[in-house]
Structure 1
Amino acid sequence: MKTHSTNQSGLLNSKRFLPLFITQFFSAVNDNVYKQSVLILLVFQAATLADGALYSNIAAGLFILPFFLFSGMAGQLAEKTEKSKLIRFVKLCEIPIMVVGALSIYTQSIWLMLSTIFFMGFQSTFFGPLKYSILPQHVAPNELTKANGLVESGTFVAILLGTIFGTYYITQDVGPEIISIAVLVLAVIGYVSSRFIPISAANEPNLAFTYNIYTSTKNVFSALNSQTESVGKSVLGISWFWLIGAIVLTTLPNYVKHVMGGNELVVTSALVVFSLSIAIGSLLCEKLSRSRIELGIVPFGAILITLFLYLLSIEPAILSYGVQIDELLTLKQVLNTGDMRWHFVWMAGIGIASGFYTVPLYALIQQRTEEACRSRVIAANNVLNALFMVCSAILSIVILSILEWSISELLLLLAGLNLLISVYIYTKVPEFFLRFIIYILAICMYRVKTRGEINIPEEGAAVIVANHVSFVDWMFILAASPRPIRFMVFAPIYYSPALHWLFKMAKAIPIDSEKANPEAFKKAFDDVAEALERGELVGIFPEGKLTDDGCVDMFRRGIERIIERTPVAVVPVHLGGLWGSMFSRKTKWQLPRLKWSLVSVSVGEPVTANKAKADNLRQRVLDLKLLYSKDND
């Protein structure tokens, strides 16, 4: 098995990731340098405010139009073609596009600018599925969150740099010349870096390619619909994020001017805060996820986005008390006026929470999508992202122009809608909410040390067996596992009013004693067999009851019955540090310790089916306990 570095600097120094990161970074810088320069030129060349708004909307529409028209083709092409070669071709095409773009900036030809914007969108449409579908081919599964965090943070830093660079230099006397040279240089750098991207085999070389826009788009959505519901709802969640992001970014200048009373420098500062905070959140996500795909952070991010949108919708106290601002405030004045400095904190909170929200979703799509469909699923995601961004513009127009609501009211509505959409997604895919509960309990309330989690198979069926110390053992094992596990749970506990909803969400398998309820006993083993045949992980506690003294009791023969019916590997697990907690039988009333108790989850090497005997498995669990004890001496 390949071993990879587990820190961000190591990944950035790696030839399998760095060239792609540089290519993506300079592509994003170039896009935003040119787009921002063009938008400013269009606004200043327009005879009236209406003409300026018209040109700006046309430019935005032309950039996003190719995502609707050609994402289907882009997904198919990325699926059937060697990716590094295709990326080089796409980046090579950026050079002549930027030659035309430089000419349009230099001559300030409106229609040449708009044409260039369209072809930039066209080029980005074909680059999008490539940059995300290539990642799982070059980084290890435990590096996906880290890689996506770096890509997301790099992208938003690049957007910020490109926007500031384009805004500043296009207004200078020699601005058009500087911008023209810059976009050409950036295009060349992007192409040169793309030549170092490692070869990435085609996922589906025999896929039929069609130039029909409708058929190709239908094809990528068919690929999306064939995936698990978690992938589909992740795509929906990412698209919803882009709707929120588009609204926040487009209303930010007006919010700063009309709500905070700030001048142009304050607008730029707010943009810097928002963009950098997304980058910071994306990098922090990898740390909070412990270098894995941690879905529990997604609801956490959604809750924080709702909270900070609500706080941002509250007008500064200085305005609430009726104080009039005669002229726009400088950045220093804003920071020293009332509670307005907190609005920068709320903006940063939204950005950091956005990183928590999006990075695990992108990583999940890459990990759980079938390899033969990955590029097409990402292409479908791009179509939905574009659709939601159009909806964001329509929603803003309806709320602000037709209904004449205030910007603060729009943000408050957005906070409420975000809460509703989040509840819908987590209801449809309970795994998100379940992982959130596990994350809060197992990571925040306790200090969990996991070893050997690499022994849990990345795919295929297996049975997880562990000692039974507390009522929440299954949560800590789930916290250590990169995959969902269906645990067998004693029926009276499974159907208890307080916990039934949680066990049902976790897709646990209820089991009763053979004497008390033979039908339920038989059905439990049938359900286990079906789950294993579908390639799922099943978890059981062979002791059959909680320990009364903290020791590992004898393993019952039910595990042998399971393996005899469905021969699969068995993975032994030892849980340490939970004996004496409020969830064990050592004491009935003990709150979690404030210093965070150390809980260990030790995962042993898989045992083949022919060696999966109850006594042998118990001994392996005891061996893991001894190993844990030696490490803590």
Structure 2
Amino acid sequence: MTTSSPSHMPPADTVPDHPVHANQFALLRQRRFAPFFWTQFAGAANDNLFKFAFTVMVTYQLQVSWLPPAMAGLVIGALFILPFLLFSATSGQLTDKLDKTRMIRFVKNLEIAIMVLAAWGFWRADAAVLLGCVFLMGLHSTLFGPVKFAYMPQVLQPHELTGGTGMVEMGTFLAILLGQVAGGLLVALPGIGHTTVAAACLGLALVGRGVAQRIPMVPATDPSLVINWNPVSETWRNLKLAHGNVVVFRSLLGISWMWFFGAVFLSQFPSFAKEVLHGDEQVASLLLVVFSVGIGAGSLLCEVLSRRQVEIGLVPLGAIGMSVFAVDLYVASRGLPAVPQMGLRAFLAQAAHWRVMADLALLSLFAGLYSVPMYALIQMRSQPTHRARIIAANNILNALFMIVSSVLAGALLGAGFTIPQIFLITGIANAVVAFYIFMLVPEYLLRFVSWGVSSVAYRFRIRGAEHIPAEGPAVLVCNHVSFIDAVLLMAASPRPIRFIMDHQIFAVPVLGWLFRLAKAIPIAPQKEDPTAYERAFVQAVQVLREGDLLAIFPEGALTRDGSLQPFRGGVVKIVEMAESHGVHPPVIPMALTNLWGSFFSRVERRDGKQVAMARPFRRGVWSRVGLNVGAAVPRAEVEPVALHAHVTRLLVA
């Protein structure tokens, strides 16, 4: 996240400027975020207290012939997400058309009414009434979903979006944890369990409505929108709207797959605890504790690991971890001896169970790393007037994927597969799906490589990142020190960058493949290949006409001694050609510092020859490098000598 822009910034009359804060927890002291956070926290806790208490009740306490215990979690989960499929399109329209705060308060009023009915169902131990309330609470969450993610971009600055999204995801899963633990414990209270659950659900609904009254008013983004009440045609329209932005749409698919993945595990925990781990209700609650804490920890880590920008490079890292620990969970849980049902203390006394819990914790931590950047990317890159409808499209896809998840898991159970085997299949499928998505959207893989290099190979510090435009075309001008300069620039910008690069670098193993994947523009000297030379400029101008970032290393080649070489005139030619097409891109100077002499730069040997990528530890491990970014250069100074002077000043800044 970088400097403000009209599409990302909150309107000036709704959210005042706020000083830069140390971390995302500072948002909990601000009215623009805290009441909203606690409102969604109470709602998520209530959803899960209710659902899990009901699931435990039909798994361990009631004998309902038409709802066998092994299928209870799947049926309840599918019924809860059905309204997302039916009503998300209408919900997205209402959220774009109406004041966000008005929508939130209406949803909280609805929650109170549903919990009154649920309280009656618990008191009578009526499974049919409670199944109806599951559907209604799914409707409650369907209405709240678009508000949840459309509200934040209107009240948070761009550099706060990853942290705010991480806080909400952490809060959601902490609420899931507390709600499900409370639901499992309260429903098991002898004699008073059902009544206590009913009172707790109604109390949480009242608390959520009270806190919602403190949420500041946030204006509608598209008040003139005409509501289409036909859910079928509007659902199709929302999906087409989301499909209009390829990166956003495929991110929606990635998030939906994460919910498919998570639904398999969450729906099976009660049965997994009972049939595989031979534990009681408390053991089922412990699995949910471990899973939810892991998600929360991963969500909070995102802001630290992403340097307070939308870093989708964390997504492949998350996908790898999800698969690795899903497979290890299968290995850890197969072959556990059949023993009488254990309580929590007996369960924890066995070392084999600690490996199961470690797998669950790490699997869910990586799921947090996977999901938060995707959610933040969707919020940041969706058009503000259509943001809620894009999020509604996401909820529709989530519902479809979760329903398919429930059906497939049920089919596998019916075919004789064990729960650990289902976990194994899910982990392998996750690896296949993740690889497919990353090949479809190379930006994820490119960001992963750039994040890894800048975070692992080096200690990379960026100064002046706010000067990189958050939207619109711009030309980035930087010194050329090493073979991975482009990779480091990718890490510094939350937006994709197209590079003009010497054609010879495409012959370098691995790096050449990486730069081709990044759609870098090869350029050859005019004397060597005049056709390729001119074609590079035409492609560069097209990048700017499309509103994207273009980076160029105007020295024309890697420095041979670490000093800044004279600049060539390619930048001037690109800007003039762009201006002839009505595009006036700002030129942003940059300087990479302390990179000379590192593994990826050239170094002179004793025989006088220069080599690169030799002696990998000659600078030690995790050496410090930096990028200094300056303000846009005045148009009159967009010429080689003046640009050289700007970059020189940044080198010593």
Same fold, TM exceeding 0.5?
yes
Q: Would the alpha carbon gap of residues 427 and 62 (structure 1) be closer, same or farther in structure 2, given more than 3 Å must change? A: same
Partners of 1:58 and 1:514 in 2: how far apart?
A: 67
Question: Does residue 436 of the first structure (1) align with residue 436 of the second (2)?
Answer: no
Distance 2:231 2:224 in 1: 20
Asked whether 1:163 is paired with 2:189, we answer: no
Q: Secondary structure at the match of 1:440?
A: helix
Say which of 382, 386, 389 aligns to 1:376. Answer: 389
Q: 1:606 aligns with which of 632, 637, 653?
A: 632
Which whole-Å CA distance do the structure 2 matches of 1:561 and 1:537 have between them?
16
Which of 352, 359, 363 is the aligned partner of 1:346?
Answer: 359
Q: Equivalent residue for 1:531?
A: 543
Q: Normalised by the size of structure 2, how large is the TM-score?
A: 0.91
Q: Does 1:462 align with 2:462?
A: no
Report the alpha carbon displacement of residue 195 of structure 1 after superposing the two structures with TM: 2.0
Pick the aligned partner of 2:650 from 620, 624, 630: 624
The match for 2:521 is 509
Q: How far off is 1:429 after superposition?
A: 0.3
The 1:50/1:84 distance shift into structure 2, 3 A limit, reads closer
Shift of 1:49: 7.6
Query: Are 1:486 and 1:506, in contact at CA under 8 Å, matched by a contact in 2?
Result: yes
The code of the aligned residue for 1:547 comes to T
1:244 Cα deviation from its structure 2 partner: 1.1
Matched, 1:86 2:103: yes
Q: Quick check: 1:76–1:220 contact (8 Å CA) kept in 2?
A: no
Distance in structure 2 (CA, Å) of the matches to 1:254 and 1:107? 25
Question: Cα deviations across residues 433-474 of structure 1 (Å, max 9, x unaligned)?
Answer: 111111111111100111100000000010000111111111
1:187 equivalent among 188, 205, 221: 205
Which of 368, 375, 387 is matched with 2:400 structurally?
387
Moved more, 48-57 or 73-82: 48-57
Deviation at 1:97, TM superposition (A): 2.1
The residue number in structure 1 matching 2:10 is none
Please tell me whether residue 591 in structure 1 is matched to residue 634 in structure 2.
Answer: no
Inter-CA distance 564–393: structure 2 relative to 1 (3 Å threshold): same
TM-aligned CA deviation for residue 78 of structure 1: 0.9
> Quick one: structure 1 residues 88 and 482, their matched pair in 2 at CA, closer, same or farther if it must change by over 3 Å?
same
Cα distance in 2 for partners of 1:260, 1:216 equals 45
User: Which range moved further: 405-414 or 389-398?
Assistant: 405-414
Match of 2:14?
none
Call closer, same or farther: CA 1:273–1:546 in 2, change over 3 Å.
same
Q: Which residue of 1 aligns with 2:227?
A: 209
Give the conservation status (yes or no) of the 8 Å contact 1:463–1:569. yes
- Partners of 2:566 and 2:560 in 1: how far apart? 13
Aligned to 2:13: none
Q: Distance in 2 between matches of 1:200 and 1:494?
A: 50
* SS of residue matched to 1:602: strand
Taking the aligned partners of 1:580 and 1:61, their CA distance within structure 2 comes to 58
Give the Cα separation in 2 of the matches to 1:180 and 1:171.
13
In 1, distance between residues paired with 2:509 and 2:306?
A: 32
Please give the alpha-carbon distance, in whole angstroms, between the structure 1 residues aligned to 2:137 and 2:378: 26
Q: Indicate if the aligned counterparts of 1:42 and 1:56 stay in contact, CA closer than 8 A.
A: no
Check conservation: 2:332, 2:356, Cα contact below 8 A. no
Deviation at 1:51, TM superposition (A): 5.2
Q: Distance in 2 between matches of 1:378 and 1:534?
A: 25
After superposition, residues 360-375 of structure 1 pair within 5 angstroms as 360-375=373-388
Q: Distance in 2 between matches of 1:56 and 1:513?
A: 65
**Structure 1: unaligned runs, 5 residues or longer:** 628-633
**CA–CA separation in structure 2 for the residues paired with 1:207 and 1:504:** 42
Say which of 491, 494, 507 aligns to 1:482: 494
How high is the TM-score relative to the length of structure 1?
0.94
Question: 1:476 Cα deviation (Å)?
Answer: 1.0
Choose which of 298, 304, 307 in structure 2 pairs with 1:287: 304
2:122 & 2:504 partners in 1: Cα distance? 73
Q: Amino acid of the residue matched to residue 543 of structure 2? A: A
Give, in whole Å, the separation in 1 of the partners of 2:358 and 2:215.
Answer: 38
**In 2: Cα distance, 1:481 partner to 1:81 partner:** 34
Matched with 1:38 is 54
Partner of 1:62: 79
The reply to whether residue 299 of structure 1 matches residue 311 of structure 2 is: no
Provide structure 2 residue ranges, at least 5 long, that are not aligned to the other structure.
5-16, 579-583, 605-610
1:520 aligns to what? Answer: 532
Once the two structures are superposed, residues 204-227 of structure 1 have per-residue CA deviations (whole angstroms, 9 ceiling, x without a partner) of 222221111111211211211112
Q: CA separation in 2, counterparts of 1:482 and 1:57?
A: 39
| Residue aligning to 2:8 | none
TM-aligned CA distance change 1:83 to 1:618, over 3 Å: same
Q: Distance in 2 between matches of 1:5 and 1:608?
A: 31
Q: Within 1, Cα distance between the matches of 2:112 and 2:67?
A: 33
User: What residue number does 1:196 align with?
Assistant: 214
Relative to structure 2, which stretch is displaced further, 380-389 or 188-197? Answer: 188-197
Q: Secondary structure at the match of 1:463?
A: strand
How far is 1:517 from its partner? 0.7
The amino acid across from 1:117 in the alignment is V
Offset, 1:500? 3.2
Taking structure 1 as reference, are residues 207 and 222 closer, same or farther at Cα in structure 2, changes over 3 Å only?
farther
Task: Give 1:577's match in structure 2, choosing from 589, 594, 599.
Answer: 594
Relative to 1, partners in 2 of residues 1:47 and 1:480: Cα closer, same or farther, differing over 3 Å? closer
Verify: 1:547 aligned to 2:559, yes or no: yes
Q: CA deviation at 1:268?
A: 2.2
